[in-house]
Every structure is written in C-alpha cells, then in structure tokens.
Structure 1
Amino acid sequence: MIALGVWQLHRRQWKEGLLASWSAARTMPPVAWPTVPPADDSLIYRRADGFCLAVTGFSARAGEDRRGNPGWRHLAACRTGAEGPGMLVDIGWSRTPDAPPRWIGGKVSGIIGRDRDRRILLVADQAAPGLAPSAYPDPNEEPNNHLTYAVQWFSFAAIALIIYVIALIQRWKREDAGKTG
C-alpha cells in the first residue's frame, strides 16, 4: 500500500507536466487534422484545421456553450478522404438535441479535444447555422487527483498497521493470561 502511495505521488508529478504541456498547446501554431489519430494525447488542446468532405452522420451529446449554459453539443462525423478514420467535429450547441443541424461540411478550424469514446474531435471556432459555439475543451478542467489517491493509500497502510498492532496486543494479552492461569 505504501508503494501504491509512492506511485501515486510519481503519477502526480507526471500529470502536472502533462497539464503544463496541454496548457502550452493552445499557444502553439495550428496543425492539420491528422489522417491517423495519434497514439498519445499530444494533439489535445492544439488548434487545428481540417476539411469535412461529407457529413456521414450527426449525434448530440450533453455539453455547454461558451457562456457555460448547459445544453447539447452537435457532433458531425465527417469523411475526409480515402485515408484514415475521418473527423469528428463539434459544430455547435443548442438547448435541445432534436433538430439535426444544417451543415454539409467544408473547411473547419478549432481546438482538438477528446470525445467520451477516447477519440479526438475538433471543436469548431464557428458554429453551424442555427447553433451557438460550443465550449472549447479546457486543460484546467482535467483532474489531478493523484495526491488524494496517495493520501488514501498511505491511510490504508496506517489503518492496516494499527489493526496489526491491536491484533498483536490482544495476542500477547491472551498469551500472558494463559501463562498466569
């Protein structure tokens, strides 16, 4: 348990470095939408440009607009060419998930974020007609709970030690009672 606590302290340092790089990513020059998704999170929070040749489907997920109002983010699955898995674009926000947006694709710029399915998506700078811009992904919303987890593991170790000491004391008392009786 102590080793797990120490491991969480190391993870905390790693996460702090990752959060710092994600914060810096927003000021880096834009990248082209990748034809192959990266195996790591190196593009998260980067500005990017892509081109949606054709929309292959729409979906709506809970989300916020740029003012923090709750509602629905509208996502467009796009074909980008013969290569790669395509592109998922957050094309805007509305109060209801009902009406599919009127958007046929084209050039899109924005900030790369993560989708709940661990895919990357592009949160568009400009909303599609009839929608408001969705909130940009924000590295400040990423949790760094590793110190809490470390304290938890160290607490478990301390509790286990206390239980062990109590068990030893009770054992010694039984042994002493057996010798004197």
Structure 2
Amino acid sequence: MATIIVLAAVVTMIGLGVWQLRRAEWKDAVLRELAAAAHQPAVAYPAPPVADALPLFRRSAVTCLSVAGWRATSGRNRAGESGWIHVASCRTGAEGPGAQVVVGWSRDDANPAWAGGRVTGTIAPDSRSLIRLVADDAPAGLMPAAPPDIDSIPNNHRAYAVQWFAFAAIALVVYVVALRSRARRSR
C-alpha cells in the first residue's frame, strides 16, 4: 500500500512539473504579446476595462476632469529611487467609472495639489482597478514615475517545474532508502 501511495505522489508531482512547463510556455507568449504592445499605436483609454482584454503596455491618453480621490503606494521614479507614486481617481465624465492615473512620484505620501487635466502615458496593471495610466510627465512638485516594465512581470514557472521534479526524485530516493533499510532490518 505504501508503494502505491508513494508512486501516486511521484506521478502527481511529475504532473505538476509538466503543468508548470506548459504554464511557462504560455507566460512566454503573453510576455511577447505585451512587449509587442508597446510598439503598437495608441488606444483610447478604456472605460470600463475588460478583464480578459486589457490593453497593457499600450500608449493612451485620458482627460481627468477632476480628481475624486488619491492613493499613494510604494513605487519608483525613472531614476529607480524608491518612494511614493500618486494615483489619482479621475472623473472622466458621466459615462462610467473614470480612470486611475499615476500622476507622479515623490518621497512624501501626501496628496499632490494636481486637480486634473489631459494625461498621456502608458497603460499598466493596477491591483484595484485592473489598469491605470502612468503619466509621461509629472505636475509641479512631483517627478515622473517609472513607466511600466515588462521585466517586472515574473515568469517563475520553469523554476517551479524543477522544484516539482526534484520533489518527485527526492520522494523516490527516500522511499528506496526506506525499503532498503527495512530489508536490512528484516534479515
């Protein structure tokens, strides 16, 4: 019975390793697609964004009629310094949810005095609103935030596959050692 359990676990671990290799291939394709998006023509800023067709890394623009609220989150400026990026929840008209706009970066998390206007930049993922526009320029008192970077998207699936294959090999070695030990004790 123990042999069946160990073999089932090993087969499962190998299956998970193969699955991770397939995920790595899928992620490579996604990353190639995102890299190509940066060289495509600008798109209209979507309102509301569609989760399975996000225009990530595309150039866009939006007019922020007024700022409905702010949030500061950790981020970097173009020089790579750590600090706070300032995300404005912008009203764009009566049509819907508005837009999230990273207007700039500072060392301080206090809300900037920016009240809105036309913003041009690059669409990036956002943890709260699916997407946000990272502005090319910053208003007075802020520095431009770092643009979205495809290299910041992890693709660890091959490493996970190696781990699953290693777990399977270790399980087999431990089981074989246990069987040999039991055989020696029974002699």
Shared fold (TM-score greater than 0.5)? yes
Aligned length: 175
Following superposition, the deviation at residue 163 of structure 1 comes to 1.4
Name 1:143's counterpart in structure 2.
154
Name 1:133's counterpart in structure 2.
144
Report the Cα distance in structure 1 between the residues aligned to 2:116 and 2:26, rounded to whole angstroms: 38
Matched, 1:27 2:39: yes
Q: Is the 2:76–2:146 contact (alpha carbons within 8 Å) kept by the matching residues of 1?
A: yes
Matched, 1:87 2:118: no
Name 2:54's counterpart in structure 1.
42
TM-score, normalization by structure 2? 0.88
For residue 88 of structure 2, what is the amino acid of its counterpart?
Answer: A
For residue 174 of structure 2, what is the amino acid of its counterpart?
Answer: I
Following superposition, the deviation at residue 17 of structure 1 comes to 0.8
For residue 61 of structure 1, what is the amino acid of its counterpart?
Answer: T
> Of the candidates 26, 30, 34, which is equivalent to residue 14 of structure 1?
26
For residue 23 of structure 2, what is the amino acid of its counterpart?
Answer: R
Name 1:64's counterpart in structure 2.
76
For residue 34 of structure 1, what is the amino acid of its counterpart?
Answer: P
Name 1:2's counterpart in structure 2.
14
Following superposition, the deviation at residue 5 of structure 1 comes to 0.3
Secondary structure of the structure 1 residue equivalent to 2:74: strand
Name 1:120's counterpart in structure 2.
131
Report the Cα distance in structure 2 between the residues aligned to 1:117 and 1:6, rounded to whole angstroms: 32
Following superposition, the deviation at residue 119 of structure 1 comes to 2.2
Off by >3 Å, runs of 4+ in structure 1: none
Following superposition, the deviation at residue 167 of structure 1 comes to 2.2
Name 1:73's counterpart in structure 2.
85
Report the Cα distance in structure 2 between the residues aligned to 1:159 and 1:84, rounded to whole angstroms: 55
For residue 92 of structure 1, what is the amino acid of its counterpart?
Answer: G
Following superposition, the deviation at residue 41 of structure 1 comes to 5.6
Secondary structure of the structure 2 residue equivalent to 1:108: strand
Following superposition, the deviation at residue 86 of structure 1 comes to 1.5
For residue 152 of structure 2, what is the amino acid of its counterpart?
Answer: E
Q: Deviations over 1:29-54 (max 9, x none)?
A: 11111012121263111111112122
Following superposition, the deviation at residue 92 of structure 1 comes to 0.6
Report the Cα distance in structure 2 between the residues aligned to 1:149 and 1:157, rounded to whole angstroms: 12
Following superposition, the deviation at residue 174 of structure 1 comes to 3.8
For residue 91 of structure 1, what is the amino acid of its counterpart?
Answer: V
Following superposition, the deviation at residue 118 of structure 1 comes to 6.0
TM-score, normalization by structure 1? 0.90
Q: Report which stretch shifted further, 166-175 or 88-97.
A: 166-175
Q: Is the 2:100–2:129 contact (alpha carbons within 8 Å) kept by the matching residues of 1?
A: no
Report the Cα distance in structure 2 between the residues aligned to 1:5 and 1:84, rounded to whole angstroms: 44
Name 1:108's counterpart in structure 2.
119
Matched, 1:159 2:170: yes
Secondary structure of the structure 1 residue equivalent to 2:162: helix
Higher helix share: 2
Following superposition, the deviation at residue 105 of structure 1 comes to 1.3
